[in-house]
Amino acid sequence: MSYLEYNTKYVPTGFRKLIYLNWPIIILLTAVASTGFVMLYSVAGGSVDPWMAPQIKRFGVGMALMIGVAMVPIWFWRNLSVLAFGGSLLLLVAVELFGEVGMGAQRWIDLGFMRLQPSELTKITLVMVLAAYYEWLPTDKTSHPIWVIIPLLIILIPTALVLKQPDLGTAILLLFGGATIMFAAGVHWAYFGTVIAAGIGTIVAVFQSRGTDWQLLKDYQFRRIDTFLDPSNDPLGAGYHITQAKIAFGSGGWTGRGFMQGTQSRLNFLPEKHTDFIFTTLAEEFGFAGAFALLMLYLLVIVFCIHSAISNKDRFASLLTIGVAMTFFLFFSVNMAMVTGLAPVVGVPLPLVSYGGSAMLVLLVAFGLVQSAHVHRPR
Amino acid sequence: MKRSAKDTEESARGISRRALVVGVAQLGIIGALGIRMKSMQIEQADHFRLLAEENRINIRLIPPARGLIFDRNGLPIAANEQNYRVVMVREDAGDVGEVLERLTKIVPLDPEELARAMEEMQRRSPFVPVTIADRLTWDDVARVNINAPALPGISAEVGLSRMYPWGADMGHVVGYVGPVSDYDLSRIDDQDPLLQIPKFQIGKTGAENKLEHDLRGSAGTKRIEVNAIGRVMRELDRKEGTSGADVQLTIDARLQTYVQARLEGESAGAVVIDLENGDLRAVASAPTFDPNLFVRGISSKNWRDLNENIYRPLAAKAVQGTYPPGSTFKMVTALAALEDGKVTAEETIRCRGYVEVSGTRFHCWKRAGHGNVNLHESLKQSCDCYYYEIGQRVGIDKIAEMARKLGLGVRHELPLSAVAAGLAPDKAWKAEVRGEDWRIGDTVNASIGQGYVLASPLQLAVMTARIATGREITPRLVRAIDGVEQPSGLGPDQGINENHLRRIRESMSDVINNSRGTAYGSRITDETMRMAGKTGTSQVRRITAEERARGVINNADLPWERRDHALFVSFAPVENPKYAIALIVEHGGGGSAAAAPIARDIMLQALADGEPQLSAYPSNVRGKIEEQQRKIRERIPPGSKGLERA
């Protein structure tokens, strides 16, 4: 393999790299994470324990990792891509085989200081390997069926493994994140059009099949879909959480009920109020103003990432940045859609805000790659 | 692979185009999310806010304090007593078993109750207080409080519970309260949310039941904030309810307790009515029951004892019991005949000891007969033949009409359980109810208060009151509700010829005060308190011709339940009557021997408003009376033992 000759003459070296970091993104990420700290303080009933303090520590570690990753030249990470992806696939298989000792489904491997979820790791490595693949592939072969099948397999193998755990949220992130890179790399529109049409067709077929001899889903699966579509059908059962989340969300109004005044979260009507459903607490306590402000912060992160991708002439760096941005986007949009009742509850945390170590570290490392791409871009 | 500069440029442009498409798509989705947020948080905010409030706010009822019941002198009959109980919160207790073991050493705990509490604690959420022991004394509570550090999760609470300081003496009048039951809810059409409170106390019998509406009061509310599992977080606000209205009865508690004492040992009912306004001074039935037993939840043994007692302690004989009034009915027959002009006071009728009516012999109680008797003698000596004759002359319909005029056969509306209507039979009644023609023999029986005639002591007291005053006196049990005086029971003149009434009253006076009267032995010697009255002895069995031929069996030789009822009605003082009394001693034998002495004692007690002077009694009975008074003075009302009189 040979690589694009970098004109490294103008690439900053040493501590000068710090100046060339994409500072707006760093500031935005810190703002988002700080929102999370405030909310974790609130849902703990006005206490730094048990969530806010560990979250700050993790964010500090994550930021350090991000800067560290950013300092390393992007071509080093590119050369590592295949190895990293292979490693994370092995880990996925490992948890599939060995993780299930003891109690039920285990999605993680204990590293001592933290529990590593290979599926989280895969979110980065998949983006890396696809970006590297398309950098390696001659541009004119991008839409050739054979060269389309290879990245499809690269996406579908880890997706299938994750789906088997089962972790629907991560599977969606991998699938859509990977597809986005393929799309950005220039794979022909027709492929995407066909897949979308087939998807819609399948959904229609599934619903049409209900109550007929060739019913495609089991009755209980249909009932779950019903509950998702109208949670009030089952307000005390499966629909309880989403109903309560919507009540919390909607009762916020313009400016919310005030910091630490959200009755739904304070009185424990909200499920998972410090993890997946933390956005409802934010919306309840700070209202539309607070919820929309956070959405705008996320939007700005995306905007800066895409700007960085467009302004980067390096194919690997651009695709990587777009992939990370898409993953980040999928995180918050799926989470928000989920807590506002637009999507089924699939267990995706709100990035950098929800309490949890794995997702935060993985995301910050991913942004480290984005920073490295930014710092070491060809000039 | 190595890319040319041109290829690189092209690749970068391609990516940029696609990246913009991705960015626009993302922007679209973000826009959709923003619109969704706005729709939920702005357009539907009120709806969701309401749901959130419904989630968090529970409305609880605050039960009002039940109204008190007083006697005519302001003595409490039904009171609310502070009730100390010990409750336990499981989650605060830590080791429940150990804490309870320590508690057992301090306060008396019923093992049965304890088992129930343990069971309840397992069933309820750990933060719900469960009552461990109820009705503790102040000393017990003090001990619990002192040992509080060793008893985590245990706390003493105070509540109100109903208490009847006069115990059994007021049982039949006041009734009792108990927790509202499903049966109550199915029976009464009452939308009061208070009834939904578990174990809410409502009146079950007696005045407590009939005056429920006034006594209950209305609920207060408090709004409390609860969390998702129902734990109470704080009280947001409260609106106090209104306490029930206090009720003052016409009953004189001291007289009532005397009457109960005097009736003790008998199966009897007695009513004392105030002639000035119809006030019921005493409504006594013996034996009686202790309402306090019911409030606390009666044990099955006590319940069995009350139910299986042949003297029927749960029956309020004074108002529920109906009996053939016997000779006490003779005034009704006499007045009917006099008013109808079928007989004059002077006319004499010959008594041969029996009369023969359409082939059947009707006997006078005196086998030898009374000879020629006029109205006066007939009442004084209680001659039956005289009434057989005038009863036939006036006819049953006129007799029934007079009976109803005097308050017999009519239900008097009183706030007591199962007030009986009795029966003043007439031809229409028999045709309707029995489907038979009225026969002359029925009239003969009815003329001396036998046969179909039935009356309660209350009705007989009303009858006596109306004879004594000539006015329409209706009995009254409630003197005031919430301080508002209730209408008097003194009605207008009944329009009965005063001469006729005077004759009757004079004869009734001689029943007692004339040495040949049937109740001479029960006379009052104090001139200012002299009593008029009429004895009655009503048969509960048929005396056959053979028995009569052999000689009627003496009451004392019969089983209790086949003996005659002893009745007595009276008013006093003769000159200016203040009270009327009706008394029945079930299966007591003759009215003059079994009922009249008791009525006299009660009358004297009422007139003297306390224990009368011995000088009011004939000298030959003073010794006996003195002994009886001493016994009653020392008596504590049954069932009220241990309860302090307020």
ipTM rounded to 2 decimals: 0.91
Question: Are B348 and B376 spatial neighbours (Cβ–Cβ below 8 Å)?
Answer: no
For residues A281 and A248, the answer to whether their CB atoms sit within 8 Å is: yes
Nearest by Cα to B30 from A336, A123, A319, A308: A336
> Cβ separation of B225 and A180 shorter than 8 Å?
no
What are the structure tokens assigned to B600, written together?
Answer: 């006299």
Q: How far apart are CA A296 and CA A27, in angstroms?
A: 14
Nearest to A313, CA basis, from B4, B613, B510, B571: B4
The stretch A56-66 carries a mean pLDDT of: 94
Q: Which of A180, A247, A284 minimises the CB distance to B22?
A: A180
Is the CB of residue A313 less than 8 Å away from at least one CB of chain B? yes
Confirm or reject contact between A139 and chain B (CB < 8 A).
yes
Helix (H, G, I), strand (E, B) or coil at B448: coil
- Ranking A296-300, B243-247, B359-363 by mean pLDDT, the lowest is B359-363
Mean pLDDT confidence for B164-185 = 89
Give the model's pLDDT for residue A5: 52
Query: Does the CB of A140 have a partner CB in chain B at under 8 Å?
Result: no
Residues in chain B: 646
pLDDT tier, B643 (very low <50, low <70, confident <90, very high otherwise): very low
- Reported as a single tens digit per residue, the pLDDT across B119-149 is 888 887 777 778 888 778 888 888 888 888 8
* Whole-number pLDDT of residue B641: 53
Report the chain A residue with the minimal C-alpha distance to residue B14. Answer: A186
Beta strands in chain A (DSSP E): 109-110, 115-116
DSSP B263-305: HTTS-EEEEEEETTT-BEEEEEEES---HHHHHT---HHHHHH
What does the alpha-carbon distance between residue A324 and residue A370 come to, in Å, rounded to a whole number?
7
pLDDT band for position B248 (cuts 50, 70, 90):
very high
* Secondary-structure breakdown of chain B: helix, strand, coil percentages, each rounded to the nearest 5: 45, 20, 35
**A96 pLDDT above the threshold of 50:** yes
Q: How far apart are CA A309 and CA B28, in angstroms?
A: 19
Residue-range domain boundaries for chain B: 83-160, 253-634
Answer with the residue of higher pLDDT: B230 or B116: B116
Angstrom distance (rounded) from CA B572 to CA B271: 14
Count interface pairs A-B at CB distance under 8 A.
160
Contact A246, B40 (CB under 8 A): yes
- How large is the greatest C-alpha to C-alpha distance in chain A, in angstroms? 69
Q: Is the pLDDT of residue B644 over 50?
A: no
Tell me the H-state helices in B527-566: 545-550
pLDDT at site B329: 95
* Confidence band, pLDDT 50/70/90 cuts, at residue A187: very high
Share of chain B above pLDDT 70, in %: 98
Contact flag A269-B227 (C-beta cutoff 8 Å): yes
Contact A310 B34 (CB under 8 A): no
Q: What is the pLDDT of residues B262-275, one digit of tens each?
A: 999 899 999 999 99
Topology adopted by domain B253-634: Beta-lactamase (3.40.710)
In the predicted model, is pLDDT for residue A250 greater than 70? yes
Query: What pLDDT score does A183 carry?
Result: 94
Predicted pLDDT of residue A110: 67
Max CA distance (Å), chain B? 156
Q: Report A:192-251 residues touching B (Cβ under 8 A).
A: 244, 246-251
| Distance in angstroms (rounded) separating the CA atoms of residues B414 and B416 | 5
Question: Which residues in chain A are closer than 8 Å to B234, comparing Cβ atoms?
Answer: none
Interface membership of A268 toward B (CB under 8 Å): yes
Domains in chain A: boundaries? 8-192+234-375
Kindly state the percentage of chain A with pLDDT values over 70: 91
The answer on pLDDT for A104 being more than 80 is no
Q: Of residues B58 and B437, which shows the higher confidence score?
A: B437
Report chain B's mean pLDDT, rounded to a whole number: 89
Reference B162, options B256, B241, B83, B87; nearest CA is B83
Q: Is the pLDDT of residue A48 over 70?
A: yes
Q: Which residues contact B153 (CB under 8 A, 6 or more apart)?
A: B88, B89, B90, B91, B92, B93, B94, B96, B99
**A306 shares contact with chain B (CB less than 8 Å):** yes
Whether B327 is catalytic? yes
Predicted confidence (pLDDT) at residue B491 exceeds the cutoff of 80: yes
Q: Among B16, B30, B40, whose Cβ lies nearest the Cβ of A249?
A: B40
Q: How far is CA A311 from CA A133, A182, A337, A377, in A?
A: 20, 19, 31, 9
Once rounded to an integer, what is the mean pLDDT over residues A143-157?
Answer: 93
Given B161, B243, B285, B327, the catalytic residue: B327
Give pLDDT, residue B635: 85
Number of helices (H), then strands (E), in chain B: 25, 23
Residue B636: predicted pLDDT: 77
User: Is residue A318 less than 8 Å (CB to CB) from chain B?
Assistant: yes
Residue B89 pLDDT > 90:
no
| Rounded mean pLDDT, A336-344 | 88
Q: How far is A70 from chain B (nearest CA, A)?
A: 22
Mean pLDDT lowest for which of A180-189, B98-107, B387-396, B622-631? B98-107
Contact present, B532 and B574 (Cβ < 8 Å) = yes
Q: Taking Cα atoms as reference points, which of B85, B231, B110, B98 lies closest to residue B152?
A: B98
| Closest-approach residue (CA) in chain A for B19 | A184
Fold entry, domain B83-160 = Penicillin-binding protein 2a (Domain 2) (3.90.1310)
What is the predicted pLDDT for the residue at B640?
63
Q: Residue A101: pLDDT above 50?
A: no
User: Looking at residues A141-164, what average pLDDT do you find?
Assistant: 91
Q: What is the mean pLDDT of chain A?
A: 87
Indicate the residue of B30, B41, B51 with minimum beta-carbon distance to A252. B41
- Identify the band that residue A234 occupies on the pLDDT scale cut at 50, 70 and 90: low
Cβ B419 vs Cβ B319: under 8 Å: yes
Considering only residues 272 to 301 of chain A, which have any Cβ-Cβ distance to chain B shorter than 8 Å?
A: 283-284, 287-288, 291-292, 295, 298-299
Q: Give the nearest partner residue to A340 out of B7, B36, B56, using CB atoms.
A: B36
